[in-house]
């Protein structure tokens, strides 16, 4: 035992890192080069993983349209596949060839997984495609909300049109605009051309009568019927993208009532009822309706009056139930058709449709589905999508 | 005045590689004794000194040390404890060159035990008589530095003084004067002094005893303190050196002679440019640490862009679903043309500015550039051109590498968000803006190239200019490195901002 002063060996130096084993400079350099080469190989591997590769012929399908060139598009068409749970993922790209054949290049990573989805639908990017790809529960929920909006819209329009505020403050202005619109439509050369077609066989006195009095009668009758058309179609128009049809009945009724006007009847009594049922007469009717709506759309007074109506608290109170139901519908659209919600997930189909809307793109899409899903979608979509026919690689569109 | 004796008993030192430097060695240094310890180069003198001073570096591995060190009533078992009784004057002084001469002494005094304050300051003052306290270490002569080092060690209050090669690099007058001062300290303070030395001519007249580290028997034994006896003893030990010298004298080719002849044969000078270029290319670009550094930087950037781009946005839900395609295309475009080139430039310029500045600073401090001039070597041209080319190549190649890892990390992060989606869907959108650009893609690549080239030229230019400025000490090199990093990175940021404005100017 040694007595006396001594320092314990524990010190900070113990915590210093040990020196690495030393090798000869040549060995160190060779080791460094090897490690560098391994890292460079990792870089190359990373680049190989992320960069797109040339498509392989082993994963190519060919289709054709049943009616050639129903959809013409020169660019790359995105291809989607519907999975058993109705969710949709991207599956490849397609291009329409000069011979009308559609070449579909499947993604290597999904080609095997969805090998039984070999029926193809070609469609425009529209809400109806999203509607078709939505689950049945989402579709049921959306139908419920649309019905609610339609009911609320009909009630709201009824309340507004029959209110004192509207009758006294807005109706005169709107009537004036309508009168101008119909007059403009009547003076339109295309309407006049349709009228000329109708009058080709009429007597000269009748021609003068038609030109003078009919315009005045049309204006007064059609303006009165306008609100009936709005009341019905305002609500119905909301359902159009989901497969609902427009209600043309009010327009037809308005024109029928116009033609039944005693003054017009008097004018037309010698004209011959048979002539009013000809193709020329229908063309004249269409031109007046289309021309009126077109004139209204271009009338600068319309936005001002509509804005004033929108901000009018008296009218707004009448519209509130309708606006609430529209808000609820708008809130449900992204969730049920776009995959949005508290658990947001990517719906590439919704992303493509939204992009097409936002950028006014006309890029169509192809959806590959199983035969069972094809039947279901055909039943729902009607003419919103074209079912493509599978062809052999060497087979042309016309063969 | 002390009359105590330093006694070392049964000292055995075995290196981490298992080599016995000494076995059961005994020696003593009496009060007022000046003892020289001599031995061939690499025989283990410094290891013995480090053991006595408690300075064995355990990072080298496990040293096996046995024996005792005693001084008066104090005794240390060297196998279990470190000795703190011996003050060491290091070979090469080891002065703190960021402190002045006075501060070097003062810092030791401030950390000395209280008992050391009672020592007579007279001998220390005699060491520092011709030195101003505020004098920078860089401006001191070799002799002055050595005396400051001795004074610093004495101030620290160790009862025993050990010096490692104290006369190395000193002229004969300075060396003799230093030996006299050491002897005076030894006698006046009663301090035992042990000196390890190769050149003993100036020390021998003042030495009381000479110890020889015998590399054959691995012991320490006394030899007579005269040059003849020492030379005979040393010749018996230095077998390798003796053989080589004898061979050279007799005209027999030495083992390495042919290699030396090859080295002395003339060749094309441009190979030295290639040599320097390879050296810089390796350290600035191709070394594993540099590659891993840039790869990691790119990967982190790719992860951050994707993770925060999709997750922490007010409309995150929309970005993940109906706005996904455009979000991904935007991230891909920005990452490829802006973010990765910028981050890669900052990382490369910061790191390489430090390397370039340190390299040139050390060459300047150690007078390598004047030596090259003296040898008619266009050193500056070799170095500067190599640095410019290697650094620009480095930035270009490493930006590509960072792009690869950034894209890869972005893909992996995207797959965490959307595990069901195919990788080809990511590829289609991530690179869409670049693919859609068509011929404009070349313009975009041109802008990226311009940013890289300007960043590299300005960054390396600044580092070269700062590195080549005169250096007085290691501290001045450190300061230069910091300056080169700040200036290089600032110029890089400005270069990228300038070209980014031009790139997207409409």
pLDDT class of A227 with cuts at 50, 70, 90 = low
Same domain, B362 and B430: yes
pLDDT of residue A45: 96
Same domain, B280 and B426: yes
Residues 326-345 of A with CB under 8 A from B: 334, 338-341, 344-345
Which residue on chain B is closest to A19 by alpha carbon?
Answer: B59
Residue B10 touches partner A, C-beta closer than 8 Å: no
Q: What is the C-alpha separation between A227 and A331, in angstroms, rounded? A: 29
Reference B58, options A23, A5, A9; nearest CA is: A9
Q: Which residues of A touch B317 (CB under 8 A)?
A: 340-341, 344
pLDDT of residue A272: 56
Look at A246-255, B77-86, B455-464 and tell me which has the smallest mean pLDDT. Answer: A246-255
Residue A49 touches partner B, C-beta closer than 8 Å: yes
Residue A30 touches partner B, C-beta closer than 8 Å: no
Length, in residues, of chain B: 506
Q: Helix-strand-coil percent breakdown of chain A, rounded to 5?
A: 60, 10, 30
Query: Does B322 contact A354 at a Cβ distance shorter than 8 Å?
Result: yes
Query: Does B321 contact A339 at a Cβ distance shorter than 8 Å?
Result: yes
Looking up residue B106, the CATH number of its domain turns out to be 3.40.50.300
pLDDT of residue B269: 80
Full strand arrangement of the beta sheet holding B64-71 = B20-29, B6-14, B64-71, B74-77
Query: Does A52 contact B428 at a Cβ distance shorter than 8 Å?
Result: yes
Tens of pLDDT, residue by residue over B381-404, are 899 999 999 999 999 999 999 999
Q: Looking at B208, B227, B243, which one is the last position of a domain?
A: B243
In a domain, B253, yes or no: no
Length, in residues, of chain A: 399
Q: Looking at B199, B225, B243, which one is the last position of a domain?
A: B243
Same domain, B236 and B279: no
Residue A8 touches partner B, C-beta closer than 8 Å: yes
Tens of pLDDT, residue by residue over B5-33, are 899 999 999 988 888 889 999 999 998 89
Tens of pLDDT, residue by residue over A24-45, are 777 888 999 999 999 999 999 9
Which residue on chain B is closest to A130 by alpha carbon?
Answer: B322
B287, B421, B431: residue with CB nearest A36: B287
pLDDT of residue B467: 95
In a domain, B295, yes or no: yes
Query: Does A7 contact B76 at a Cβ distance shorter than 8 Å?
Result: yes
Residue to mutate among B10, B424, B428, B431, with most A CBs inside 10 A, is B424
Q: What is the C-alpha separation between A323 and A299, in angstroms, rounded? A: 25
How many interchain CB pairs under 8 A, A with B?
156
C-alpha distance from B325 to closest chain A C-alpha (Å): 7
* Longest alpha-carbon distance in chain B: 96
Query: Does A7 contact B82 at a Cβ distance shorter than 8 Å?
Result: yes
**CA-to-CA separations, B185 to B37, B154, B182, B299, in angstroms, rounded:** 19, 9, 5, 63
B75, B80, B317: residue with CB nearest A9: B80
Q: What is the C-alpha separation between B333 and B338, in angstroms, rounded? A: 8
Same domain, B386 and B465: yes
Tens of pLDDT, residue by residue over A84-107, are 877 888 999 998 887 788 899 999
In a domain, B259, yes or no: no
Tens of pLDDT, residue by residue over B224-249, are 888 888 888 887 775 555 555 565 55
Which residue(s) pair with A202 in the sheet?
none
DSSP B136: B
A101-110, B137-146, B350-359, B437-446: range with highest mean pLDDT = B350-359
Q: What is the C-alpha separation between B233 and B235, in angstroms, rounded? A: 6
Sign of the C-alpha dihedral, residues B142, B144, B150, B156?
negative
In a domain, B216, yes or no: yes
Cα B453 to its chain centre, rounded Å, is 31
| Direct distance between the N- and C-terminal alpha carbons of chain B, in angstroms, rounded to an integer | 88
Q: Which helix (H) or strand (E) holds A319?
A: helix A313-338
Residue A18 touches partner B, C-beta closer than 8 Å: yes
Q: Which residues of B touch A107 (CB under 8 A)?
A: 422-425
Q: Which residues of B touch A368 (CB under 8 A)?
A: none
In a domain, B258, yes or no: no
Query: Does A354 contact B323 at a Cβ distance shorter than 8 Å?
Result: yes
- SS3 of residue A59 by DSSP: helix
Residues 308-327 of B with CB under 8 A from A: 316-318, 320-326
Same domain, B238 and B274: no
Same domain, B171 and B295: no
Q: How many domains does chain B have?
A: 2
Which residue on chain B is closest to A113 by alpha carbon?
Answer: B422
Query: Does A7 contact B81 at a Cβ distance shorter than 8 Å?
Result: yes
In a domain, B199, yes or no: yes
Same domain, B201 and B282: no
In a domain, B1, yes or no: no
In a domain, B264, yes or no: no
pLDDT of residue A399: 42
Residue B275 touches partner A, C-beta closer than 8 Å: no
Same domain, B179 and B80: yes
Average pLDDT score over chain A: 74
- What is the residue range of B80's domain? 6-243
A119-128, A378-387, B48-57, B453-462: range with highest mean pLDDT = B453-462
Bigger pLDDT: A8 or B61? Answer: B61
Residue B60 touches partner A, C-beta closer than 8 Å: yes
Residue to mutate among A17, A22, A46, with most B CBs inside 10 A, is A46
> Other CB atoms closer than 10 Å to residue B313's CB: what's the count?
14
Same domain, B231 and B333: no
pLDDT class of A167 with cuts at 50, 70, 90 = confident
Cα A96 to its chain centre, rounded Å, is 22
B121-133 mean pLDDT: 80
Q: Which residues of A touch B292 (CB under 8 A)?
A: 39
Secondary structure of B380-425 in HEC code, one letter for each residue: HHHHHHHHHHHHHHHHHHHHHHHHHHHHHHHHHHHHHHCCCCCHHH
Q: Which residues of B touch A40 (CB under 8 A)?
A: 291, 401
C-alpha distance from A81 to closest chain B C-alpha (Å): 11
Residue A354 touches partner B, C-beta closer than 8 Å: yes
Same domain, B205 and B283: no
Percent of chain B with pLDDT over 90: 40
Cα A269 to its chain centre, rounded Å, is 47
Q: Which helix (H) or strand (E) holds A365?
A: strand A365-369
Same domain, B274 and B238: no
Bigger pLDDT: A265 or A83? Answer: A83
Q: Looking at B243, B259, B280, which one is the last position of a domain?
A: B243
A8, A36, A89: residue with CB nearest B288: A36
A117-136 mean pLDDT: 80
A216-220, B80-84, B135-139, B297-301: range with highest mean pLDDT = B297-301
B58, B287, B321: residue with CB nearest A13: B58
A50, A350, A351: residue with CB nearest B408: A50
Same domain, B202 and B348: no
**Which residues lie closer than 8 Å to A74 by C-beta, 6 or more apart?**
A96
Bigger pLDDT: B453 or A259? Answer: B453
- Parallel, antiparallel or unpaired: strands B6-14 and B64-71: antiparallel
Query: Does A7 contact B61 at a Cβ distance shorter than 8 Å?
Result: no
pLDDT of residue A18: 61
Query: Does B322 contact A19 at a Cβ distance shorter than 8 Å?
Result: no
């Amino acid at each position: 035992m040694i007595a006396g002063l001594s320092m314990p060996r524990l010190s900070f130096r113990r915590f210093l890192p040990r020196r690495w084993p030393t090798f000869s400079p040549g060995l160190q350099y060779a080791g460094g080069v090897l490690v560098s080469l391994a890292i460079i190989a990792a870089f190359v591997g990373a680049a190989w993983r992320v960069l797109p590769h040339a498509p392989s012929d082993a994963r190519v399908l060919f289709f054709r349209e049943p009616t050639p060139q129903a959809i013409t598009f020169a660019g790359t068409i995105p291809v989607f596949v519907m999975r058993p749970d109705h969710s949709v993922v991207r599956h490849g790209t397609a291009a329409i060839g000069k011979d009308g054949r559609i070449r579909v290049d499947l993604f290597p990573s999904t080609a095997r997984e969805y090998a039984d989805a070999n029926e193809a639908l070609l469609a425009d990017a529209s809400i109806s495609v999203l509607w078709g790809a939505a689950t049945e529960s989402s579709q049921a929920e959306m139908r419920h909300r649309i019905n609610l909006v339609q009911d609320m819209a009909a009630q709201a329009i009824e309340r507004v049109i029959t209110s004192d505020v509207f009758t006294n403050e807005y109706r005169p202005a709107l009537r004036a605009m309508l009168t101008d619109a119909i007059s403009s439509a009547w003076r339109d050369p295309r309407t006049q051309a349709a009228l000329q077609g109708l009058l080709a066989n009429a007597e000269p006195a009748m021609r003068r009568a038609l030109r003078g009095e009919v315009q005045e009668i049309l204006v007064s009758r059609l303006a009165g019927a306008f609100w009936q058309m709005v009341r019905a179609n305002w609500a119905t128009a909301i359902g159009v993208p989901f497969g609902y049809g427009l209600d043309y009945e009010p327009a037809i009724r308005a024109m029928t009532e116009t033609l039944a006007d005693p003054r017009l009847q008097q004018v037309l009594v010698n004209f011959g009822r048979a002539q009013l049922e000809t193709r020329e007469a229908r063309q004249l009717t269409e031109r007046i309706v289309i021309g009126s709506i077109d004139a209204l759309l271009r009338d600068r007074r319309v936005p001002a009056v509509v804005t004033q109506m929108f901000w009018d608290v008296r009218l707004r109170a009448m519209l509130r139930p309708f606006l609430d139901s529209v808000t609820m519908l708008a809130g449900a659209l992204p969730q049920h058709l776009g995959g949005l919600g508290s658990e947001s997930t990517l719906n590439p189909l919704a992303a493509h449709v939204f992009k097409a809307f936002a950028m006014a793109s006309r890029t169509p899409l192809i959806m590959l589905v199983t035969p069972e899903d094809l039947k279901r979608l055909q039943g729902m979509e009607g003419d919103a999508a074209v079912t493509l026919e599978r062809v052999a690689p060497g087979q042309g569109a016309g063969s | 005045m002390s009359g105590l004796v330093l006694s070392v008993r049964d000292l055995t030192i075995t290196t981490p590689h298992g080599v016995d430097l000494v076995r059961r060695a005994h020696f003593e240094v009496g009060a007022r004794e000046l003892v020289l310890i001599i031995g061939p180069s690499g025989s283990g003198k410094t290891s013995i000194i480090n053991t006595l001073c408690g300075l064995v570096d355990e990072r080298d591995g496990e040293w096996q040390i046995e024996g005792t060190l005693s001084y008066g009533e104090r005794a240390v078992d060297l196998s279990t404890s470190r000795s703190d009784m011996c003050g060491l004057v290091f070979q090469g002084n080891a002065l703190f060159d960021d402190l002045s001469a006075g501060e070097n002494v003062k810092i030791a005094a401030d950390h000395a035990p209280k008992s050391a304050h009672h020592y007579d300051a007279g001998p220390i003052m005699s060491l520092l008589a011709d030195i101003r306290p505020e004098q920078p270490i860089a401006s001191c002569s070799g002799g002055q530095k050595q005396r400051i080092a001795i004074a610093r060690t004495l101030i620290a209050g160790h009862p025993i003084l050990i010096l490692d090669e104290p006369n190395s690099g000193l002229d004969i007058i300075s060396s003799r004067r230093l030996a006299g001062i050491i002897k005076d300290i030894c006698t006046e303070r009663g301090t035992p002094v042990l000196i390890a030395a190769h050149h003993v001519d100036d020390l021998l007249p003042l030495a009381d005893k000479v110890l020889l580290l015998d590399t054959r028997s691995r012991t320490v034994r006394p030899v007579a303190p005269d040059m003849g006896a020492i030379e005979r003893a040393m010749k018996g030990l230095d077998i390798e050196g003796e053989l080589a010298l004898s061979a050279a004298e007799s005209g027999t080719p030495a083992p390495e002679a042919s290699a030396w002849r090859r080295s002395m044969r003339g060749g094309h000078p441009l190979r030295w440019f290639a040599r320097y270029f390879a050296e810089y290319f390796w350290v600035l670009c191709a070394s594993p640490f540099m590659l891993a550094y840039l790869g990691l930087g790119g990967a982190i950037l790719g992860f951050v862009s994707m993770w925060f781009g999709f997750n922490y946005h007010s409309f995150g839900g929309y970005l993940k679903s109906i706005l996904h395609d455009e979000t991904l295309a935007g991230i891909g475009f920005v990452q490829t043309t802006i973010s990765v080139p910028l981050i890669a430039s900052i990382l490369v310029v910061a790191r390489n500015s430090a390397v370039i500045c340190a390299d040139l600073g050390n060459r300047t401090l150690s007078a390598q550039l004047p030596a090259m001039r003296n040898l008619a070597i266009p050193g500056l041209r070799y170095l500067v051109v190599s640095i410019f080319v290697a650094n620009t190549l480095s930035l270009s190649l490493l930006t590509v590498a960072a792009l690869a890892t950034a894209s890869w990390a972005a893909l992996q992060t995207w797959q965490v968000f959307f595990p069901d989606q195919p990788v080809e869907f990511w590829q289609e959108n991530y690179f869409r803006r670049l693919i859609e650009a068509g011929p404009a893609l070349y313009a975009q690549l041109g802008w990226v190239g311009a940013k890289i080239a300007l960043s590299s030229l300005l960054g390396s230019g600044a580092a070269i200019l700062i590195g080549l400025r005169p250096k007085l000490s290691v501290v001045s090199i450190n300061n230069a490195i910091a300056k080169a990093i700040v200036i290089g990175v600032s110029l890089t940021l400005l270069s990228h901002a300038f070209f980014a404005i031009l790139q997207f100017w409409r």
